[in-house]
């Protein structure tokens, strides 16, 4: 998919699925499971617009070696085979290393790359600008900025975002992760309709920001309930408040369970205050949900931990009885 086509596709609104990386009990990647999950998601494309993002945060990209990262991305690109856009996660703190990953993604046929803010050392705005400009100039595919202060200690403010949009022709969108609704709206206004601002914090935050211009959302839950997520997208685009509220009520029980898991297995060791950093048990819950419903979630890789059997049983009840999700055949 060409850059303009990808930008237009995202502008119309989509569910961007940040795919899990299935690990076995020994911590090895199950590539057949990854292919299976990808193929099942591709079959859902007739329900609504999907984008696949391998090697993102939900994919535990930071635990992958370079060789594993390449194999994960190639597995998804090959399985998608042009049927669904693939935007590969290319997340490294250094610019040079990120460019190498982005070029590989382009070489194997990915439609774009998603690049998180540089982390560890905090760059100045000029360094941040030059980081993204050089990455974009080094590839011919689309660039999706992942504006996530949770993991990076920095943030692209609206005035800098406007500058980047004006300077980077292959910028196709922003995965916007601010926890503040008004800041989200400021980002929408800053880009002046040139690129989509996508809700990066998932379904719950999509509901209050769709009226502010959110063009779809990024989802980890779509790994195990793509139909639900696409229904939420459709309700949002129609501004169907009653349907949005109904879906949010269903989702609330799952969100409450995840919050309980964060408290049970926590507390988090971070020194940062909420809402920026929360516990990460969500990834273990997503994988357990996939296993329950017939997908191949596998296990998380250390330093993350799985939920225990008694919690898996409770999760199964939430998914089947409350959310009325059905296992795949």
Residues with a catalytic annotation lie at 146, 175
Q: How many CB atoms lie within 10 A of CB 267?
A: 9
The 3-state DSSP class for residue 115 equals strand
Q: How many CB atoms lie within 10 A of CB 120?
A: 9
Which backbone phi and psi does 79 adopt, to 5 degrees? -70, -40
d(CA 62, CA 128): 21
The 10 Å Cβ neighbour count of residue 269 is: 6
Nearest to 157 by CA among 134, 191, 195: 191
**How many Cα atoms are found within 13 Å in the side-chain-facing hemisphere of 77?**
21
Q: Within a 13 Å sphere around the CA of 137, how many CA atoms are in the beta-carbon half?
A: 10
Helix (H, G, I), strand (E, B) or coil at 145: strand
Contact call for residues 159 and 191 (beta carbons, < 8 A): no
Contact 77, 113 (CB under 8 A): no
Exposure letters 280-317 (e unless 16+ CB within 10 A, then b) = bbbbbbbbbbbbbbebbbbbbbeebebbeeebbeebbe
Q: Which of 297, 257, 262 is nearest to 278 (CA)?
A: 262
CB atoms under 10 Å from CB of 241, counted, come to 12
210 near 184, Cβ under 8 Å?
A: no
């Amino acid at each position: 998919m060409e850059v303009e086509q990808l930008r237009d596709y995202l502008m119309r609104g989509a569910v961007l699925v940040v795919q899990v990386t299935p690990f076995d009990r020994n911590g090895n990647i199950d590539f057949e499971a990854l292919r299976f999950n990808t193929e099942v998601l591709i079959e859902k494309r007739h329900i609504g617009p999907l984008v696949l993002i391998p090697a993102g945060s939900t994919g535990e990209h930071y635990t992958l070696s370079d060789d594993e990262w390449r194999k994960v991305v190639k597995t998804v690109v090959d399985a998608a085979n042009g049927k669904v856009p693939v935007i590969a996660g290319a997340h490294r703190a250094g610019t040079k290393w990120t460019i190498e990953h982005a070029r590989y993604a382009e070489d194997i046929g990915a439609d774009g790359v998603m690049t998180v803010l540089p982390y560890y050392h905090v760059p100045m705005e000029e360094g941040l600008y030059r980081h993204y400009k050089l990455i974009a100039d080094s590839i011919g595919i689309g660039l999706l900025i992942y504006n996530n202060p949770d993991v990076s200690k920095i943030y692209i403010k609206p005035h800098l975002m406007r500058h980047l949009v004006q300077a980077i022709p292959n910028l196709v969108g922003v995965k916007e992760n601010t926890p503040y609704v008004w800041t989200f709206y400021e980002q929408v206004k800053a880009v002046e309709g040139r690129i989509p601002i996508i809700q990066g914090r998932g379904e719950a935050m999509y509901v209050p920001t769709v009226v502010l211009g959110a063009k779809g959302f990024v989802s980890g839950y779509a790994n195990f309930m793509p139909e639900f997520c696409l229904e939420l997208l459709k309700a949002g685009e129609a501004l169907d408040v009653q349907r949005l509220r109904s879906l949010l009520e269903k989702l609330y029980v799952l969100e409450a369970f995840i919050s309980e898991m964060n408290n049970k297995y926590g507390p988090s060791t971070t020194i940062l205050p909420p809402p920026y950093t929360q516990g990460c048990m969500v990834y273990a819950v997503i994988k357990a949900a996939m296993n329950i419903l017939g997908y191949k979630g596998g296990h998380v890789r250390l330093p993350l931990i799985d939920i225990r059997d008694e919690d898996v049983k409770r999760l199964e009840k939430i998914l089947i009885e409350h959310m009325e999700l059905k296992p795949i055949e």
